[in-house]
Structure 1
Amino acid sequence: MTGAFVRDVERLACPACGGTLVFHGQERDGRVFHGWLRCGGCGEAWAVERGMARLYREDAVRGTDRLMRVIYDGLPVLHDPLTAVLTPLLQSVTESRMRERYMRRLELEMLRPREDGQPVRVLEVGVGSGANLPLIRGALPHGQDVEVWGVDLSEGMLKHCRRRLVRGGYESVRLMMADAHALPFPDGMFDRVLHVGGIGGYREPARALAEMARVARPGTPLVVVDEQLDPAFRPSLLQRAAFRAITFYSRDPHCPRELLPRGAVSVIEEQVAPFYYCLSFRMADGSSSAAERTTP
């Protein structure tokens, strides 16, 4: 079981209005299993099926969001092997080295217990098959109790991620289906936020960035990684063709630094591989970063 614990429900927020959710249904091993998460504010009900909460509106998944979900649902088993093989072949850098370069920006080793008594929490938006989860676990301070949350819109990738977690003996990971444009969490819930490989194809990347900033505690690192051709890189015809193939969804795949929400500070943009940028930033105390909660 890798869904949210029943005790976690009170920590969630309705994606439509930000209201408090209450679980009605069956639980298994202390986690939600089948039923509904109902909002006490707007009355919206969100399904829970076989341990997976579905905290998004299907009619909001449109355009490139819908297209990319179809693609990811169709290749969950092939995704990781293809990434491992093609990354060094096309970019002359290993997948592990690329991941190490952006993971260090999360500063996970600096995590300490929260003064307010709340658990330390890490969120990965677009968790996919969970390839970053072993790196997150390995970088956490020894003995530090940390909750790791992962959200994604691809059911196929989340199923693959679940299998990875079961094989790896992960116990503190919560997975759920959610839309990055309307994250089902209250303001300032997370001590670290990570997103890799999807924002360039989002229908509203500025809104997604604002949502990631909203759910992060002020002053804590947020890290966003996606495709951008390194201007210092001189690609071959094969490499240029490969880059265009993996960025077919965008005419101008680039680091969305200009879309960062108001109040973003300590902004660092860097290339972690010839095809990928890493954008890290923090939100200043008292900044107003969140997009107004409306129907996505």
Structure 2
Amino acid sequence: MSSGLKAGDVPLVTCPDCGGTLVFHGQEEEGRLAWGWLRCGGCGEPWPVKRGLARLYREDAVRGTDRLMRVIYDGLPALHDPLTTVLTPLLQSVSESKMRAGYLRRLELGALAPHADGTPLRILEVGVGAGANLPLIRRELVTGQEVEVWGVDLSEGMLGRCQQRLRKGSYPGVRLLMADGHTLPFRAGLFDRVLSVGGIGNYRDPAAGLRELARVAKPGTPVVVVDEQMDAGRRPSLFQRAAFRAMTFYTRDAHCPRELLPSRAEDVLEEQVSPFFYCLRFRMPEPVAVTG
């Protein structure tokens, strides 16, 4: 199953540089963008589409820990999910499925209701990786709802594994593209649910990443962020401490970035979903009306 953008999706994506509208010039396959360029009508910048993946990010902006983590993920895409399944219970004494269920429930997928104007519901996962959350998201949705799941990642290797997953199963409505979480290529308020797992902690600018998650979410919708943090309520063993330090080699301060949330964030909830991972849920209110 193809997972690239459809021609009708182009008005929903924007130029990462200036936020301008994009126009596709190129070849389509099976109704999806296959090869060509998405050219900005504002600044004129062309963004490539190769092998069915739109690449809406600047390579020169991928630096520091962003570049290091991409090298790691590109180097082991086939091992990532199997290792997660095996090591999660070994290191944290909790199953992978229980951990994922702990944060997915905060998306409140069962509460999604159809839009009055008939437009599809849209869910965004930033850092979609190999797509391990996709079947769990589908399982939580109400049967018969028209829902699009958009997944972005900077690792072409991980997105390749995700494409393989989609070809093997039934995942209608999935869109994948390469993008940088610091400058998401979407117009504001596009998504009904927003999820980010295992990425914010190694961003070069996590505050910018959180602002982008908040910007693309509709007012009032849950935005859920998950990443590493040692559970302060437990007494980890020496083995667990060593394992956590190895997992978070990129920083000496792996923690929930609650202090970096946008100032207007509300309904903030922080909790541990496993000994090594926090879940941070928040919502953004309606924009303040400007008068005068």
2:76 aligned with 1:72, yes or no?
Answer: no
**1:235 partner amino acid:** P
Q: Is the 8 A contact 1:263 1:287 kept in 2?
A: no
In the TM superposition, residue 119 of structure 1 has moved relative to its aligned partner by 1.5
Paired position in structure 2 for 1:201: 202
TM-score (norm 1): 0.96
**2:85 partner amino acid:** A
Paired position in structure 1 for 2:182: 181
- Structure 1: give runs of 5+ residues left out of the alignment: 289-296
2:157 aligned with 1:156, yes or no?
Answer: yes
* Cα deviation code 1:20-53 (max 9, x no counterpart): 0000000011100000000000101000001010
Q: 1:140 to 1:36 in 2, by over 3 A?
A: same
Percent identity between matched residues is 70
2:123 aligned with 1:122, yes or no?
Answer: yes
Paired position in structure 1 for 2:257: 256
Moved over 3 A (4+): none
**1:39 partner amino acid:** C
Q: Is the 8 A contact 1:197 1:225 kept in 2?
A: yes
In the TM superposition, residue 258 of structure 1 has moved relative to its aligned partner by 0.2
**1:192 partner amino acid:** R
**2:147 partner amino acid:** V
> What pairs up with 1:223-234 in 2 under 5 angstroms?
223-234=224-235
Q: Between Structure 1 and Structure 2, how many residues are aligned?
A: 288
TM-score (norm 2): 0.97
Q: Is the 8 A contact 1:26 1:34 kept in 2?
A: yes
CA distance in 1, matches of 2:147, 2:164: 21
Paired position in structure 2 for 1:265: 266
- Structure 2: give runs of 5+ residues left out of the alignment: none
**1:267 partner amino acid:** V
Secondary structure (helix, strand or coil) at the match of 1:211 reads: helix
* Cα deviation code 1:186-244 (max 9, x no counterpart): 00000000000111000000000000100000000000000000001111111100000
Paired position in structure 1 for 2:144: 143
**1:105 partner amino acid:** R
Q: Is the 8 A contact 1:221 1:281 kept in 2?
A: yes
Paired position in structure 2 for 1:239: 240
2:71 aligned with 1:58, yes or no?
Answer: no
Could you say what the CA RMSD is over the residues aligned between the two structures, in angstroms? 0.9
In the TM superposition, residue 287 of structure 1 has moved relative to its aligned partner by 5.4
Secondary structure (helix, strand or coil) at the match of 1:138 reads: helix
Paired position in structure 2 for 1:32: 33
CA distance in 2, matches of 1:171, 1:84: 25
* Cα deviation code 1:92-133 (max 9, x no counterpart): 100000000000000001111123432210000000010000
Secondary structure (helix, strand or coil) at the match of 1:161 reads: helix
Paired position in structure 2 for 1:101: 102
CA distance in 2, matches of 1:78, 1:253: 23
> What pairs up with 1:164-175 in 2 under 5 angstroms?
164-175=165-176
